[in-house]
Amino acid sequence: MNSFLLFNIGNTHTQWVRSDLHGVFTEVGEVTTTSWQENISLLPEADGDSPVWASCVVPRAREHLSRSGYYKNLHFVDPQSAAAAGVDFSLVDTSTLGADRIANAVALLQYDLPAANFDFGTAITLEIVLADKKFAGGAIMPGRKLMRQALNRGTAALPEVPLDHPLPENPGVNTLQALALGIDRGAVGMTKELMSVAGAQGVKIFTASGGDAKFFCEAMKELVPVEKTFTLRGVYHIAAKHLEKELIFDQAGAAVSSKSMATIPPTAHAIWSIRPQGLPKNSFSEN
C-alpha cells in the first residue's frame, strides 16, 4: 500500500484524487454525484488494498457506495477521524455536522489560527477554527445558484438568472438586473456579515474554496483563494493520520517493527510539518 484514493462527494459534483503517502496529488477527476450512483464504474478503481477515504454530504450516495462493495478498504470522514487529525469538536453538536465542513476544518490547520473558510458551493458554508484548534462552528446559507432556483421555482414569473449574468453596479432597470443585484450583491453582503461574526472570534484569515469561489474573491479582496482540492487536502490529512495509527500499532495495540516504522512518511510522523514544496503557509498548489 503506497497511496490513497480520496473523494469529496458533494450535492452536485464528486471530485477525487489519488495521493501518495506524502500528499502529492494527481489531477482531479470529477463526475456528477447523480451519474455515478446510476453507473458506479464512472468512479476510479482503487489501487489494490489502498485506503479509500471519502467526505460525503449525500446520505443516499454514502449508502450506495458502502453497499456496492466497490471499494474494500473504504472509510468515511467523521468527527472522530478528524479529531485524531488535530481538530477539537467539543464546542459543537457533531451529530449533524457535514463531512465537507469537517474536512475543511482539518484543512484550516495549515494556516495561522484562528482562521475561517468559506466553501462556496450549492450551499455556502463557513467553518471557524480557533487558535487552540477548537472548531467554533460556523454558518450555512444558500449559494447563488440555489437562490436563483428558489426564486424561479417559488414564483410564477421570475426567471432563473444565469450565473454569469453581469453584476450590476446600480439599481436594476429590468427584472434580470434586479434579480442579479439582489441575489449576487445580497450574497456578498451576507458573506461580509458572516466575516464580521467570525472576526469577533479573532479570525483574520478567510480562505475561499468551492466551485463559486472565484466570484466572491473578485467581489471581496479580503478572501484568500485556495486550490480546488482544499477539501480533499483535509481528507488527505485525516487519511494520513489514520494510517499512522495503523502502522504504529497492531490490532492488539503493540508497537510494530522498526522496519514498518521506517515506511511511515514524514507527514504521518509530524502531520503538519511539511507543505507542498516552495509554498507559503497559507497557500497550496498541486501544479
The set of catalytic residues is: 100
Torsion of CA 104, 107, 111, 114, to 10 degrees: 40
Compute the chain's Rg from CA coordinates: 20
The label of the residue with cell 428558489 reads: 150
The sign of the CA dihedral 200, 206, 211, 215 is: positive
Question: Exposed, middle or buried: residue 201 (CB in 10 Å: 0-12, 13-18, 19+)?
Answer: middle
Contact predicate 116/108, CB 8 Å: yes
CA atoms 49, 274, 108, 145: torsion sign: negative
